[in-house]
Amino acid sequence: MSKNLLEQLREMTVVVADTGDMEAMKKFRPQDATTNPSLIAAASQLPQYQSLVDGVLLDARKELGDTADEKQVANLAFKHLAVAFGKEILKIVPGRVSTEVDARLSYDTEKSIQQAREIIAQYDKAGIGRDHVLVKLASTWEGIRAAEILEKEGIHCNMTLLFGLHQAIASAEAGATLISPFVGRILDWYKKDTGQDYQGVDDPGVKSVTTIYNYFKKFGYKTVVMGASFRNIGEIEELAGCDLLTISPQLLGELSSKEADLPRKLDPAKAKTMNIEKLTIDHETFVKMHAADRMATDKLKEGIDGFSAALEKLEVLLAKRITELEAVAAK
């Protein structure tokens, strides 16, 4: 009996679920799961997670006492909500869950470190080992410096909103556990900028991840590559063999329903033989390369702004919900 694409992919790549929906995780049985502020905000509004959200809100109220207003309660609950989802996710996936530091701290190394430690402390308190948690940080220079310090403390980091080779190399040299280059968002930018469509190996997002993967394997970095943000299964097929791929439930469904041969495209042994120039990414070089890369500049800013907006929306929803809960309790 022939294997579907998802079964074949699992033989060469760790498959990660890119969702906050635990029902989807139960269906596709990924090794790991990753969430982001937009996914948590969306999942928080689904009826099946209302009791989880309400529990976090009521715990926050209990912790702060009656003198705190609903905004303060919502703010504390928001800090605990992603971890609450993470703890539930780890009841389903055997590997790791990624929990994101507030995107609004992306240019503040100290505050990013502080929040990452708070996230890990919550998992520690729940008896969840650090090998099961990745803290997500934006791949700004400041975020990468935070990761360098956190990794030395045994806190594993996932560098997100990564669009350029300079971000990838700086993250690897900082000792980050994992990077998440955004394939689909890169494609989106090029389609809008050029008015062209791209398929297969010509997809700029596929090219970017292929370049990063080969660079890492050529020079023996321990940092692993997890392609993220896919627009179609063609992108996933072109990156078969990547260390990890984080895939939405919709595309996991498409992969599991398609039967065809899936050849390995990324191979560490092949990368070792390639003629690749070694780069040194200090702060000045990072800034220069980032400024020269219009796509990376645009998408990093857009990503941070988008995640920040999702967080602000979530805080408003939580403040509204705690008011509703307390109105019901007062009756």
Which residues are CB-contacts of 94 (< 8 A; sequence separation ≥ 6)? 31
Strand, helix or coil for residue 213: helix
Q: How far is CA 327 from the centre of its chain?
A: 36
Tokens at residue 317, please?
């929803």
Whether residue 326 contacts residue 68, with contact meaning beta carbons closer than 8 Å, is answered with no
Q: Is 301 a known active-site residue?
A: no
Q: Which residues pair with 100 in a beta bridge?
A: 136
Whether residue 317 contacts residue 44, with contact meaning beta carbons closer than 8 Å, is answered with yes
Catalytic residue among 87, 136, 218, 299: 136
Q: At what angle do helices 109-125 and 70-89 cross, to 10 degrees?
A: 60
Cα separation, 305 vs 307, in Å, equals: 6
Residues catalogued as catalytic:
136
